[in-house]
Structure 1
Amino acid sequence: MGVQLIINIIVAFSWMLFTNSFSLSDFTIGYLIGLATLLLFQRFYGFRLYLHRVWAIIKLLVLFSKELVKANIDVLKVVLSPKIQVQSGIIAVPTQLQTEGEVTLLAVLITLTPGTLSMDFSEDNKTIFVHALDIDNREEMIKGFHDTFERAIMEVTR
């Protein structure tokens, strides 16, 4: 990903040098030419264009923001209710993520979401133990982590 970005920026600056014009519009034209060049090479060499990963990162950030708002509303309902009727507990969330970085990112996203806290990892890093403020259905909560954060992380890293 980094090499492709550097190549794209070098092509953009080369375009500016060839046209002898150093404006933002010329940089943009050069950047688009570099992007087209990378798309052409992508067909021959079969690598994945770095913009796919950038788009996946943007989608992960939007997903996290959406889940953050939903979790804040849920915690607000619990805090403002006259009777506290929560079923807190610890659940084991198995994961298909392979690297330590992926598992750590999942744990951080779970912890940053209000009402949940990543507590520990299993020895093989295939399970994250999560404390949740309110657990209605354990399987549904685990499926929610898999369908949202885990899938988005795999899209970014693979």
Structure 2
Amino acid sequence: MALQILLNVIVAFVWMFLVQNFSGQGFIVGYVLGLVALIGMRRFFKVRLYVHRVWAAVKLCVLFIKELILANIAVLKVVLKPKLDMQPAFFAYPTTLTEDWEIVLLSSLITLTPGTVVIHVSDDAKTLYIHAIDCNDVDEVVASIRDSFEKAILEVSRA
């Protein structure tokens, strides 16, 4: 993947020198031409084109921003209620992630989302212990994390 990005940037700079356009526009045109060339030569690479991983990372960022906004609204509703009828809970979240960076990213995304915090990661890194400020159904929260953050992280790492 790093080789593909490097080749794409080199093609962009070569294009800038060929057309003698040293502006941002010249770089972007060269970058797009380099990307088209990489797509044409993709059969020569053993790994998938890096654009797939970049696109998956962009989707993960958009997902996090969406979840961040929704969680802020949910916490605001809990705080502004005249009667505190929240149900805090501690629960164990079994994860299928294997790489250390994937587990750290998942833990960070969960902790950065208001209303939840990762308390501990088990020694074998297969279970995250989470505290949620308002959790009516633990299975629903576990399924929500698995279907959103964990799925998106797997897509980034496998792309």
Band of TM-score, shorter chain: over 0.9
In the other structure, the counterpart of 2:113 is: 113
1:9 & 1:45 partners in 2: Cα distance?
A: 17
Q: Which residue of 2 aligns with 1:72?
A: 72
- Match of 1:10? 10
TM-score (norm 2): 0.93
Determine the structure 1 residue equivalent to 2:19. 19
- C-alpha displacement of 1:8: 0.5
Provide the rounded CA distance (Å) in 1 between the counterparts of 2:107 and 2:156: 16
What amino acid is the match of 1:126? K
Give the letter aligned to residue 118 of structure 1: V
Find the aligned partners of 1:26 and 1:60 in 2 and give their Cα distance: 30
Residues 114-129 of structure 1 aligned to structure 2 (within 5 Å): 114-129=114-129
Report deviation, 1:128. 0.3
Q: CA RMSD of the aligned region, Å?
A: 1.3
SS of 1:90's partner is: strand
CA distance in 1, matches of 2:140, 2:150: 14
Q: Could you tell me which residue of structure 2 aligns to residue 91 of structure 1?
A: 91
Aligned 1:52-67 pairs, distance under 5 A: 52-67=52-67
Query: After TM superposition, which residue ranges in structure 1, 4 or more long, deviate above 4 angstroms?
Result: none
Number of residues of Structure 1 aligned to a counterpart in Structure 2: 158
Residue equivalent to 2:47? 47
The one-letter amino acid paired with 1:112 is L
Greater mean deviation of Cα atoms: 3-12 or 140-149: 3-12
Q: Give the share of equivalent positions with the same residue, in percent.
A: 49
In the aligned structure 2, how far is the partner of 1:60 from the partner of 1:21? Answer: 35
Q: TM-score, normalised by structure 1?
A: 0.94
Give the aligned residue type for 1:20.
Q
Instruction: Name the CA shift for 1:80/1:21 in 2 (closer, same or farther; >3 Å).
Output: closer
